[in-house]
Structure 1
Amino acid sequence: MSHSTILFVYAAPVPRMTRFPLFPVEPDKFALICIVCLMLVGAVFMMSRAPAKSEQPAVALPNDALSALPASAVAASGPAAPAPASRYTVKTVAGQPTFFDAANLAGLSASVAHRVIEALRNRVDFRRDWKQENQVSFVFDTKSAAAHTDDPHPAMPAAVRVVTDAGEHDIFLYKNLKGEAFYYTKSGDRARGGFIRYPLAFRRVSSTFSSRRFDPVLRRWQPHDGVDLAAPAGTPVHATANGVVTFAGQQTGYGNVIEIRNRPPYSTLFAHLSRFAKGIHAGAKVRRNEIIGYVGSTGWATGPHLHYEVHVNDVPKNPLTVSLPPAEPLHGKELSRFASRSAELEGLL
């Protein structure tokens, strides 16, 4: 009998694999891979939140380059530079009994306040028109040469506005091409240097301009071609504009009288004077605000006063209301330069 060898082969069971479409791996290895991926994603996320640091040095842009950039770009590049300080300061004063008090409170010296009053004299009678509730504003140029002296008082104001019951009155300081500084109105007319309204400091108007007035001396009705301004005897009388004396002497009724030919078509007359100032005679040239005589009661006068007349083309006009001509106004390039400056200053008042 033959012997047969029987061979037994043991085959270990092969575990069944779970296959995924993209990862044909076992579940425990798949889970490990997922954890690692999540950690990588988290690390990338944290790195993206950290501020980026540039290793290159910052490059400073020149000023002209900054001016060419948009405003948003300049603002983002760093803190904005402080705005330049204004070259002007404005001081407004109200509630003062006189203009001089208001000017003093604003820091003006007496001489500067007087010059401002002279510039506004054609428009405001500060002795009669000023009231305590009135207001005045001064604009000072802090970069002017006069502003950097040892004088504790401000220099001449660059602009002035006086507000009274009659309205607003503005003047602007302007240096012309000759280097001369004067005050001008907004229209470019010289504020001072033309006519002044009143030739003296008087107490009251004792008799008004009239086409028919009863004369207290002649006891009859007749025209009164001027105004009588009552004032103490000896009160100085001033020329109201530049001109040439055409007569200085005595006239019936007028007593001592001075007649002046001013800029055409204007002329002025001053009567009942006690005496003439030195140098006043026919042919003498006089300047605005120059003393030409003194109050008296010569001629047909019932008391000391000045009889004052203004003629336009030889026709008598009411001196208290007649339109008075300014000094020579600005023209051409001067007017254009002044208009630009006055517009800037007016915006500050």
Structure 2
Amino acid sequence: MGFLLPDAGYQDALRLDLALTEVKPVFTLPLLFNSSDLVKAGEFGNPDITADGNRAVTVKVRRGDTLDRIFRRENLDPGQLVAVMALAPARDGLRILRPGDELYVRHDGATLLEISRKLDTFHTLNITRVGDAFEARVATLEYQTRTARATGDIRSSLFEAAARAGVSDSTIMKLAAIFASQIDFVLDLRDGDRFAVVFEEMWHDGDKLDEGDVLAAEFVSQGKTYRAVRYQAADGRVSYYTPEGRSLRKAFVRAPLAFTRVSSDFNPRRMHPILNKMRGHTGVDYAAPSGTPVRAPGDGRVTFAGRKGGYGNAIILEHGNGVTTLYGHLSRFAQATAVGRRVQQGDVIGYVGATGLATGPHLHYEYRVNGKYMNPRTVKLPEGSTAIDARERPRFVQAVAPLLERLDAGHSMLADGKAPATASDQTT
């Protein structure tokens, strides 16, 4: 839909969490024991043995693992893989394995009986032996959808404010993507800025599983209020609009990657950090972890993708009306990036790196108009905003009214500048 919704890999790069290694105590057998003290197959307390005497184990995927390697490590007959991978759900669900993924495997000696993998919060792939063959199905977890509202105020960072408000990183990233064409979340945030967001939550048996779409949102940045509502048109297309019905999808967003810092600004008389001589800096450098996805800020066509001198791995997009953009020091290119190919706003075109003349991982981003270098942070961006069609307007007004009413619950606190509540209130 044109919104820069960052994928899961990017969020992992942003928030580096320290994981404590699980330390298992060493147990010794008592000096005096009976044979009845030893756990038998199928008895409670031995999770590796099922009630029917088969072995069940949760396998954590290691770096470089393949299914064939896992089968051999678990002493399974690798010849069974042919039958397993002949099933379409198995091909889709097991083709790509990443370090840390978990597989549940049940077997009788070298014979595979069952293999399962959780695909996401709501879907699990189950492959079971039936006679001499295998069957595969994807089980879907039933859940209830609730609507939640949360408010927060910025004290140190948007993520910190979201955490205090009980909002997940994924939801706050969606909120930032919705307002990306209006607010530069890298540079424009200030202490005291505030937000309110209405979003979906998925629940199962009293447990919150996940957060879904943002339905309505408000962000007060430096005293200016921005509002958005989600609307699905009669033809099925989903987008975000102002309450008055103007699309928030602009032809361009300000930055091609989100939530980082500017390590070097546009400066025609900058001292080059490597060459140690005066050389104009014709773009903006965004410091970010290596591998962070770089997304097209607007629709365009790839005119260059390859090695380009001090830029290292670089991409040039042509957007029409004399506008071109350049992306330098990339670690690698996205698979879909090829010269002549068209890209849409939000498509991943490459990944942050430190190739070429670079002191560390960052993206060098240039914006040119008819060949002239412009400051990407301040250049007037193409608008491209459209309004709801007049024939669609009555339906739009009716659909967004309850969302705005939900968003406005307690709205006076935001308007008056009072500290908003930090806990989300939920309704079914």
Normalised TM-score (structure 2): 0.49
Residue among 259, 268, 276 paired with 1:211: 268
Q: What amino acid is the match of 1:121?
A: A
Residue 120, structure 1, aligned to residue 179, structure 2:
yes
Distance 2:165 2:260 in 1: 29
Q: What amino acid is the match of 1:184?
A: Y
Q: Which has a greater percent of helix?
A: 1
Residue 136, structure 1, aligned to residue 195, structure 2:
yes
Contact 1:266-1:312 at 8 Å conserved across structures: yes
CA drift of 1:119 comes to: 0.7
Distance 1:190 1:339 in 2: 12
Q: How many residues align?
A: 257
Distance 1:226 1:253 in 2: 14
SS in 2 for 1:118: helix
Distance 1:206 1:169 in 2: 28
What is residue 328 of structure 2 aligned with on the other side? 271
Alignment of 1:147-226 (within 5 A): 156=213, 158-165=215-222, 167-186=224-243, 188-192=245-249, 194-201=251-258, 203-226=260-283
Q: Which has a greater percent of strand?
A: 2
SS in 2 for 1:213: coil
Residue among 352, 371, 374 paired with 1:314: 371
Higher Cα Rg: structure 1 or 2?
Answer: 1
Contact 2:246-2:388 at 8 Å conserved across structures: no
What is residue 287 of structure 1 aligned with on the other side? 344
CA RMSD of superposed structures (Å):
3.9
Alignment of 1:91-106 (within 5 A): 92-94=151-153, 99=158
Instruction: Evaluate the alpha carbon distance shift between residue 274 and residue 168 of structure 1 in structure 2; reply closer, same or farther with a 3 A threshold.
Output: same
Contact 2:334-2:351 at 8 Å conserved across structures: yes
What is residue 260 of structure 1 aligned with on the other side? 317
> 1:57-99 deviations in whole A, cap 9, x for unaligned?
xxxxxxxxxxxxxxxxxxxxxxxxxxxxxxx997644477654
Contact 1:190-1:326 at 8 Å conserved across structures: no
Distance 2:229 2:168 in 1: 18
Alignment of 1:328-343 (within 5 A): 328-330=385-387, 332-333=389-390, 336-337=393-394
Residue among 308, 330, 336 paired with 1:251: 308
Identical-residue share of aligned pairs (%): 38
Contact 2:252-2:381 at 8 Å conserved across structures: yes
Normalised TM-score (structure 1): 0.58
Contact 1:189-1:326 at 8 Å conserved across structures: no
Contact 1:118-1:192 at 8 Å conserved across structures: no
Q: Which runs of 5+ in 2 are unaligned?
A: 1-146, 412-428
> 1:303-346 deviations in whole A, cap 9, x for unaligned?
33221011234332211222333555125405854885679948
Q: Which runs of 5+ in 1 are unaligned?
A: 1-87, 141-145
